[in-house]
Structure 1
Amino acid sequence: MNTITPTMTLAVFLLLMLIITKLFIKPNLNLNDTKNSLMIALTMSLIPLTLLLNNENEMTLSTPPIINTATTNINISFILDTPSLTFIPIALFITWSIIEFSLWYMSTDPYINKFIKYLFIFLIAMLTIITANNMFQLFIGWEGVGIMSFLLIGWWYARSDANTAALQAIIYNRIGDIGLIMTTAWLLSLTSMNMQELFMQHEVINIIPLIGLIAAAAGKSAQFGLHPWLPAAMEGPTPVSALLHSSTMVVAGIFLLIRLHPIMQKTELALTICLILGATTTMFAAAAAATQHDIKKIIALSTTSQLGLMMTMVGLNQPMLAFLHMATHSFFKALLFLCSGSFIHNLKNEQDIRKMGGLNKILPMTSSTITIASFTLMGMPFLSGFYSKDTIIETILNSYTNSWALTMTLIATMLSAVYSMRIIYLTLTGFPRTKQKIHHETKAPTKPILRLTLGSIFVGTMTKLSTLQTTTTYTMPTSIKLSALTITLTGIILSTDLLFLSTKQPPQKPKTLNLFFNQLAFFNLLHRALPMKMLKFSQQTSTELIDLWTLENYGPKGLSNTSIPLIHMTTQQKNLIKNYMTTFTLTMIITLVLSCP
């Protein structure tokens, strides 16, 4: 353990850096080689994980100080513990599958090599966050995933929607980043940026840096209030959506809170904020997903809902349970996106589920896998989502938390079954609702999709068998134990019933509540009303204050007003006839007197 773990982890980093260097030097490199290199990196990263299962040690690797400051020395330092060694193989496995899928999905793109290069840099930035042992290093990875998401969401930059979505993502993330910068500055000046030193001083941590951390996580993980950028990010290519939502970017915010949980666990206010924020997000996003029609937006809002569930677990002082759900969620969310990408590609870029139908006969393999992924998301027994989601709901039901958070989580669980069944019914069953020439399935995307399907089925069982899932064992009534399953089944029955009712009815005008969730609640306020008010205010400031007031006082009129009194003081030209007559008379008298002999 002492030498193999750090050696293998560093080897993985070096191999990824080597791949990126080769992509930079040889732009026309054979991309199958990069895919195979990722597979080798995954195999190497599984060795430290195998050793970790037998003995849960924590290791750190550090270089000598690179930057010396008055309070702390900044160096490159890696922390190799349960979260980092578990998540590295997950991130590599999912990126390997997504890159293999991208080679088929983006095959006609002229800049596919650059696209793969960006995905690799995205992965390295995420691995930097996972293994960072100080706030400075974590911040570099944090900004790395931010800038890569901007470049990848706006990949088709000729479309104005893609540019707007990329800008939206970066601006919302900058709002959260203010919190992280504030926390880092606070820790740098008052405590320490090193993780181990920070954990020893958790009792002296003020609430201000903790609120900064929560703000950072809310921005990156699209929590309620900073949520609109995540569904908007669907303007990017589907492989980007898959990577963004499963194992990079959006889980970075939750990972930050899991990593720094020791400094939060004694502060009740910080935990309560996480709990309420998470419960609100999970319910709101699930309700919003049930009203959307774009298949990718439904899955994107489903991600927000699951992130809210993880945030709730952080608020309940169960960070490892949040991490367990993060690990299982990565597989089925990547699978959902790849299946939706297969549908979109084969239907010639159609994303509206109302225009699909009957795809289970035309695209049988994708239909089977998206059904498995949807059942995993719902938390059906013995699929991987069940092991984390069921445990989360049991923990909430058995905790001394507020009933509001509990109610929101249960409603969200029911709604997750509703929107998942909606995708299955509208896309797979019935008959095609539009006349479209459909491509038949090819073998190219089947390998990564089947690989992720196996992950979605077996990863939960594997964590149950390993030491990774060591949750608290409760004695509880059967009704509590079966609550998650009961709520899910209720959601399925409700969804089926509503669907059979609504498909036979003539089109109706959307209700206010439906529009509220469909427009993500804040959309009109944040993206229309506020910017318009701000622009109006700026325009009035620039025109009325600067043009009228400033120029009146300090411009030509101001200069003229200041010079008039001076003119009046130094001259007799006041337009008064008696002054002129007096001056003329005096002049004449003086002239006569002087001219007389």
Structure 2
Amino acid sequence: MPLITPTLITSTLLSLMWMTITTMLKKDLNQTKMKNILAIPLMMSLVPLMMLLNNNTEFLMSTKPLIPLPTMNINISLTLDTYSLTFIPIALFVTWSIVEFSTWYMATDPNINKFIKYLLIFLIAMLIIISSNNLFQFFIGWEGEGIMSFLLIGWWSSRSDANTAALQAIIYNRIGNIGLIMTTSWTLTNTSINIQELFMEHKTMNILPLLGLVAAATGKSAQFGLHPWLPAAMEGPTPVSALLHSSTMVVAGIFLLIRLHPVLQNNQQILSICLLLGATTTMFAAASATTQHDIKKIIALSTTSQLGLMMTMIGLNKPTLAFLHMAMHSFFKALLFLCAGSIIHNTDNEQDTRKMGGLNKTMPATTSSMTVASLALMGMPFISGFYSKDTIIETIMNSNINTWALIMTLTATLLSAVYSMQIMILSQTSTPRTKQNPHKETKPTMIPILRLTLASILLGTTTKLSTLQTTTTTTMPITIKLAALIITLTGVMLSIDLSMLAMHQKPKKVNTIQPFLNQLAFFNILHRALPMKMLKFGQHTSTELVDMWMLENYGPTGLANSTKTLIYTSTQQKNMIKNYLTTFMITTILATLILP
């Protein structure tokens, strides 16, 4: 285990060194150097993971106190356990593939060097979150994720939609951050910000900081209520969407609850909130995805749906299962976005699935990889998503508090098959419905996609065979055992049937389909209307109430009006000649009599 410390430190230093070099480079990035620079930390991070498979222990590393306080000392503290040692290689692998893809996708961007530097800082912020052993350090990575998401989503800043989406992302996350700030403040005052010491207080923990943790996860992981920013974030470049949705920002909220789950596990109210929130999110996001036509927004809403599944597992006291799905989800979600980016580039920046078609002939490798990723998302057997998603549904069925969660999860599973098939049918089959600009599936495009495809196929089986997973043997009827597969196949057949039915109908203009789901439960409208009403109310209060009433009656104008009567009474300056002559005569007479 001592080898873990220099390995992780070396990987981080190499990443920082790479970031420094890229800022200095002025020419196009050399792809070979890029590949080697990102592959070396990945290979190094696999060494402690191999050791973990044989010796499942936890390693802590702390520096001397950096900020001494009267009650505690704040220092840099790293925890290297199953969660961090497993997810660090995953984050490095996914980022490696996305950065390599970005060198092709963003080749014409004049600021590509800065773009890749931002991606690396995004990764480093996530590595800080993964390895943090205190909430102060965790919050630094948490804020780093928010700042970098703002910069990357609004990368094309000349577009007003991109600016709006970036602001939307950071404002929604700021709402969630209030919860994490509240929890950190509470632990600073009452217990300790050190996570290991915090675990000892799990029986006496107040519900207020736990609600703060759930609020933080709701904002960062786009749970129901704070969900609209995630589909809006599709205004950023596709590599940003791939990294944002797979292994960095959106999973940070779930990872927070996984890391601090020993604090939550004995509080049934918080677990029930997580269960209901997760089940509602997974069903609502899946239903919303079926009403969308933008390929990136469909994939984004599928991310929200999968995050809802992870939140459901938190609510059922199964954080390890949530982490397993988080790890498997990283590969096939990054693959979906990279394939979507390649398709969008091929169709002259067309993102509407209804205008695609016939791509299986012009882009066979990309569409094959997208099919694999979609099957993994649906939970088809023996692909990576199956091993986590199927286990999650079985776990929900074996729980006695799961009626709402079971109905919502099975419905979401059905709908996930529907929208995944919708993407495949509309984009790959039939004939092209719009102008296409086919490009050759060259090495810079296909190598990262094929790498993620192999990971999406093989890593579920590899994890199943490893010592990290010890499956509990349960007895259940064969129907319940196959329920997830039955529901998925039902969704596939339903989607194919609906597609065949729609293709034979005459084209007609359709009104807004399912406005409640299509408009994300009108949260965009509500979240814009309420601040506007408050702004108008504040404006009327300041101008009409304060300026026009209070200052008019009690300010300078009021004082002036109150002194007018006294001024008129005490002065004779009324512009009358007789008053002036009388005053002059009286003054002259008095002066004559008084003066000698």
What TM-score comes out, normalization by structure 1 length?
0.94
DSSP-derived class of the 2:360 partner: helix
- Structure 1 residues 563 and 165: alpha-carbon distance in aligned structure 2, compared to 1, 3 A threshold: same
What is the CA-CA distance between 1:186 and the residue it aligns to? 0.5
- Give distance in 2, aligned partners of 1:91 and 1:516: 35
In structure 1, the partner of 2:403 is 403
Alignment of 1:53-64 (within 5 A): 53-64=53-64
In structure 1, the partner of 2:9 is 10
Give the aligned residue type for 1:271.
L
Please say if residues 324 and 469 of structure 1, whose CA atoms lie closer than 8 Å, have aligned partners that are also in contact.
no
- Give distance in 2, aligned partners of 1:31 and 1:151: 24
- Give distance in 2, aligned partners of 1:236 and 1:208: 35
1:224 aligns with 2:192: no
What is the CA-CA distance between 1:91 and the residue it aligns to? 0.3
In structure 2, the partner of 1:557 is 557
DSSP-derived class of the 2:521 partner: coil
Per-residue CA deviations over 1:94-116 (Å, capped at 9, x if unaligned) read 00000110111111111111111
1:449 aligns with 2:456: no
Per-residue CA deviations over 1:232-260 (Å, capped at 9, x if unaligned) read 11111111100000000000000000000
- Give distance in 1, aligned partners of 2:238 and 2:367: 17
In structure 1, the partner of 2:354 is 354
Number of aligned residues: 593
Per-residue CA deviations over 1:453-511 (Å, capped at 9, x if unaligned) read 00000111011111222343321111110000011011111111111122222345656
DSSP-derived class of the 2:520 partner: coil
In structure 1, the partner of 2:107 is 107
What is the CA-CA distance between 1:384 and the residue it aligns to? 0.5
In structure 1, the partner of 2:164 is 164
Give the aligned residue type for 1:476.
M
DSSP-derived class of the 1:204 partner: coil
- Structure 1 residues 538 and 32: alpha-carbon distance in aligned structure 2, compared to 1, 3 A threshold: farther
In structure 1, the partner of 2:518 is 518
Please say if residues 279 and 405 of structure 1, whose CA atoms lie closer than 8 Å, have aligned partners that are also in contact.
yes
DSSP-derived class of the 2:516 partner: helix
In structure 1, the partner of 2:251 is 251
1:268 aligns with 2:268: yes
Alignment of 1:209-358 (within 5 A): 209-358=209-358
- Give distance in 2, aligned partners of 1:255 and 1:13: 20
- Give distance in 1, aligned partners of 2:508 and 2:514: 12
In structure 1, the partner of 2:378 is 378
Segment drifting more, 409-418 vs 512-521: 512-521
What is the CA-CA distance between 1:7 and the residue it aligns to? 1.8
- Give distance in 1, aligned partners of 2:257 and 2:565: 68
Please say if residues 346 and 441 of structure 1, whose CA atoms lie closer than 8 Å, have aligned partners that are also in contact.
no
Give the aligned residue type for 1:495.
S
In structure 1, the partner of 2:196 is 196
Per-residue CA deviations over 1:160-218 (Å, capped at 9, x if unaligned) read 11111111111111001111101000001110000110001111110000111111001
Please say if residues 31 and 113 of structure 1, whose CA atoms lie closer than 8 Å, have aligned partners that are also in contact.
no
Please say if residues 348 and 438 of structure 1, whose CA atoms lie closer than 8 Å, have aligned partners that are also in contact.
no
What is the CA-CA distance between 1:351 and the residue it aligns to? 0.8
Gap regions ≥5 residues in structure 2: none
> Could you say what the CA RMSD is over the residues aligned between the two structures, in angstroms?
2.5
Give the aligned residue type for 1:22.
I
Give the aligned residue type for 2:99.
I
Please say if residues 95 and 243 of structure 1, whose CA atoms lie closer than 8 Å, have aligned partners that are also in contact.
yes
1:535 aligns with 2:526: no
Please say if residues 225 and 522 of structure 1, whose CA atoms lie closer than 8 Å, have aligned partners that are also in contact.
no
What is the CA-CA distance between 1:120 and the residue it aligns to? 0.6
- Structure 1 residues 471 and 313: alpha-carbon distance in aligned structure 2, compared to 1, 3 A threshold: farther
What TM-score comes out, normalization by structure 2 length?
0.95
- Give distance in 1, aligned partners of 2:503 and 2:567: 86
Please say if residues 346 and 440 of structure 1, whose CA atoms lie closer than 8 Å, have aligned partners that are also in contact.
no
Identity %: 70
- Give distance in 2, aligned partners of 1:27 and 1:244: 26
1:466 aligns with 2:451: no
In structure 1, the partner of 2:19 is 20
- Give distance in 2, aligned partners of 1:114 and 1:32: 18
- Structure 1 residues 522 and 467: alpha-carbon distance in aligned structure 2, compared to 1, 3 A threshold: farther
- Give distance in 2, aligned partners of 1:384 and 1:436: 32
DSSP-derived class of the 1:425 partner: helix
- Structure 1 residues 546 and 507: alpha-carbon distance in aligned structure 2, compared to 1, 3 A threshold: farther
Give the aligned residue type for 1:11.
T
What is the CA-CA distance between 1:55 and the residue it aligns to? 1.1
1:497 aligns with 2:497: yes
Segment drifting more, 35-44 vs 557-566: 557-566
DSSP-derived class of the 2:107 partner: coil
DSSP-derived class of the 2:443 partner: coil
- Give distance in 2, aligned partners of 1:514 and 1:429: 26
In structure 2, the partner of 1:126 is 126
- Structure 1 residues 27 and 142: alpha-carbon distance in aligned structure 2, compared to 1, 3 A threshold: farther
Please say if residues 228 and 524 of structure 2, whose CA atoms lie closer than 8 Å, have aligned partners that are also in contact.
no
- Give distance in 1, aligned partners of 2:347 and 2:440: 9
In structure 2, the partner of 1:136 is 136
In structure 1, the partner of 2:424 is 424
Give the aligned residue type for 2:43.
T
- Give distance in 2, aligned partners of 1:434 and 1:469: 47
